[in-house]
Structure 1
Amino acid sequence: MSTYTVIGGGIAGASIAYHLAKTGNSVTVFDRSDNGQATSASAGIICPWVSQRRNKKWYRLVQEGARYYPDFIQELEETTKQATGYKRSGAICLFKDERIQQLAYERISAKQDGSPEMGDVRKLTKAEVKEMHPHLTDSYPAVFVEGGGQIRGESLLSALKEGIHLHGGKWIQQDLNPEEEKGTVIYTAGAWAGEYYDVPLVRHQRAELLHLKLEDESHSKETPVVMGLGPMYIVGTDSNQFAIGTTHEDTEDFSIAPSRENQQYLYNEAKRYFPETTIRNQFMAVGLRPFTRDSLPYIGWTDDHVFAVNGLGSSGLTAGPVIGREVAAYLAGKDTVLNLDDYAYL
């Protein structure tokens, strides 16, 4: 048995702590529950196969993350008896015309051989989009990815915290006193990483989401997540309730006060995608997303007793669980599926 001190209880820290605790290690998590934690604010889309990013190391990470999700969630929910909000209801990816739809279909479906977990991939007409998601505009054709899903960040963290306790770990909701460091330090402080250690260098963005309710309740079926045009996405959060986002704002401060300008922007986007239904504003969620060099997560040693994980950005909820599995195996000297040297680039 080894001893670990985890600093930061976002998705990376919680997942690493859970996987370490369930294999019999002594684990203590210190988490301040800072407002703006990216995990809690995120919409939680699990659909990495549609990304156009060309960074192969990043894609291997999120691809393995999506592959691991169903088994991971089943085990976690059975262990803790808590729901995580994980659903695989598919993803509708909208495109402005049929030509771009065809190119996207070819690009996405080409990944099926390496990722059978993504399921069926097919083109949707505008009418089929409307049938699948009655509230949604019928202005755009789409590609449907059967394996796309979503997770509730707050619910997942709650289940992980319970799992850590059940496996004998500790979760202390306060800042770390350096005298309380024991064993190996796992440093996963997200956007706040510079407070204890300045390696790796971490920057962050404010990301805002608008949570809204649709007045028309004639359609209440469960709907797929929607990948809109550009950076927009829409995720169902409850019956006729959705979150739409996101904004991307580089910043050096830690304010999580919602921006009226961004709220209006997202409200206008919501009217674009839900043109036939009255929209009721509910609230804005603001998260601070951490990024490291080249927007590639850092996973590796930064000192002789400090192992850092940071920079998960917008893919944190996709990659976090599998990072927990892989880091726990690596620290135990066991084989890993991913080559973690790809992410230890200091």
Structure 2
Amino acid sequence: MKKIAIIGGGIIGMTLANYLDREQFEITVFDSGKNQATGASAGIISPWLSKRRNKKWYALARDGASFFEQLVTDFNLHESIYEKCGSLFLRSSKALQELEQLALERRKTAPEIGEIRRLRPEETEKKLPLLKAAESLYISGGARLDGKAYLEHLRARAEAKGIHIIKTEARVRRRRHDWEVASTQESLFVDELVLTPGPALKSLLEQLGYSAAVSPQKGQLLSFDTSFETGEWPVAFLDGEADLIPFQEGRLLLGATHENEAAWDLSPTQEAFEQLTKGVQPFLKEDFFTKTAYNYRVGTRAYTPDFAPFFGPIEGEAGLIVASGLGSSGLTTGPYIAYLLAQYLNSTQRQWEMGIYTKDLKNYIKAKNASK
């Protein structure tokens, strides 16, 4: 049986661990939990109306959203973790018309979008009673995912299957025929090494003689506990920085910030509160955010110069696989990336052809020694 180590127990690493073939692999996950984006996240699974021009990213996000139907079945995800609730888009009349046409066009290749309907002001208010009466666009296929709850659920499943999880940082070293993974608790020699540690990939690859075009980005969300009956509310894309994400039992999330300069700093800030609540206030009947108890969720995402993820085996390095750069769409793309990696690793005849979803790794990872 081969030994495999995964460094990084976020949305890719923990999903991958659960999809790997236990008859082929003895699996160990190293995860310190520090700065983890997924553990602090909750977000919207509704990528279809994005106007990003990157066609590879859209293909990945579209298929990632579609993959949730299988993910829910495979991992028995409860509605407190993932729920299809629909998405509302609040924009000007002209912008809504453009979005409606985009939705109709994209539904041809993404039937998961579901129903597409322009809502009158009173219909918008009925769908999400916090909002002022205003025109909106509704699509029924939108969903919400609680990243923290998702990880807790998958970690419990992994441990129940005998997957070894080591809650500490790790260092890596290339040996002649395998890889050494060392932590303060123990050292392992493994046949396969998968690096999925978000922006920390940069420092891990430096240990192996590579540079990586990936940087940390701080993200802050606000979580409010309310007395509202939020269970059937859709998520809402508001015209600005913040999106409104209702969950079960009165919980409302607002987020998230994108702070490149703050990077690894996990300190919650008043500036984030003001930025997020100020952006959403024009859409609300009343400013309840300043009167309601709340908590911060703070994590560090990985992003690349072109704001696109990369993943796959590194050419010339037998048994070395990487994935990073998910940015703020990690909840949508991460599980599907993990599934694709698992399919590759589980296969007896490995072939990696993912040009539809990502650029060649050479665009992001380079050997520091030019002769390598």
Deviations 1:37-74 (A, max 9, x none): 11122222100102111111111111111111022112
Aligned pairs for 1:1-346 within 5 A: 1-21=1-21, 24-34=24-34, 36-77=35-76, 85-95=81-91, 97-138=92-133, 140-176=134-170, 177-178=181-182, 179-198=187-206, 199-214=211-226, 217=228, 220-251=230-261, 253-276=263-286, 278-279=288-289, 280-302=292-314, 303-331=317-345, 332=347, 333=349, 338-339=354-355, 342-346=358-362
Contact 2:132 2:285 (8 Å CA) reproduced:
yes
CA contact (8 A) 2:27 2:164 kept: yes
CA contact (8 A) 1:214 1:277 kept: no
- How far is 1:221 from its partner? 5.0
Normalising to structure 2: TM-score of the pair? 0.84
By how many angstroms is 1:75 displaced? 1.7
Q: Which amino acid is the alignment partner of residue 153 of structure 2?
A: A
Percent identity among equivalent residues? Answer: 28
Quote the offset at 1:258 in angstroms: 1.1
Unaligned runs of 5+ in 2: 171-180, 363-372
Change in 2 beyond 3 A, CA 1:240/1:155:
closer
Shift of 1:289: 1.1
Determine the C-alpha separation between the residues in 1 that align with 2:281 and 2:122. 19
Q: Which protein, 1 or 2, shows the higher relative CO under an 8 Å CA cutoff with sep ≥ 6?
A: 1
Q: How has the CA–CA distance of structure 1 residues 225 and 341 changed in structure 2, closer, same or farther, with 3 Å as cutoff?
A: closer
Between structures 1 and 2, the one with greater helix share: 1
Q: State whether residues 301 and 344 of structure 1, in contact with CA within 8 Å, keep that contact through their aligned partners in structure 2.
A: no
**1 CA distance for matches of 2:287 and 2:277?**
13
Q: Which is further off, 43-52 or 239-248? A: 239-248
The structure-2 alpha-carbon separation of the partners of 1:191 and 1:263, relative to structure 1 and needing over 3 Å to count, comes to same
Say if 2:231 and 2:246, in contact at 8 Å, map to a contact too.
Answer: no
Give the distance between the partners of 1:271 and 1:122, measured in 2 at CA: 25
Partner Cα distance (1:242, 1:73) in 2: 22
Question: What residue ranges of structure 1 are gaps of 5+ in the alignment?
Answer: none
Cα 1:340–1:329, aligned 2, differ >3 Å: closer, same or farther?
farther
C-alpha distance in 2, partners of 1:25/1:167? 12
CA contact 1:200–1:292 (8 Å) conserved in 2: no
d(CA) in 1 for partners of 2:73 and 2:189? 32
CA contact (8 A) 1:6 1:13 kept: yes
Q: Relative to structure 1, is the Cα distance of residues 169 and 339 closer, same or farther in structure 2, using a 3 angstrom cutoff?
A: farther
Q: Pairwise CA RMSD of aligned residues?
A: 2.3
Deviating beyond 6 angstroms after TM superposition, the runs of 4 or more aligned structure 1 residues are: none
Which amino acid in 2 is paired with 1:160? Answer: L
Structure 1 length-normalised TM: 0.90
1:188, CA displacement in angstroms? 0.7
Q: Distance in 1 between matches of 2:24 and 2:285?
A: 53
C-alpha separation between the residues in 2 aligned to 1:174 and 1:128? 50
Q: Distance in 1 between matches of 2:274 and 2:262?
A: 23
Query: Larger C-alpha radius of gyration, 1 or 2?
Result: 2
Change (3 A) 1:345 1:175: closer
Deviations 1:172-229 (A, max 9, x none): 11222534241111001112222321443211211111222456x4x55520000110
Supply the distance in 2 between the matched residues of 1:50 and 1:181 (Cα, whole angstroms): 45
**C-alpha contact 2:2 2:190 (8 A) present in aligned 1:** no
1:162 offset after TM fit, Å?
2.4
Tell me, what secondary structure is at the counterpart of 2:63? Answer: helix
Does the aligned pair in 1 maintain the 2:80–2:248 contact within 8 Å?
no
Equivalent position amino acid for 1:173 in 2: K
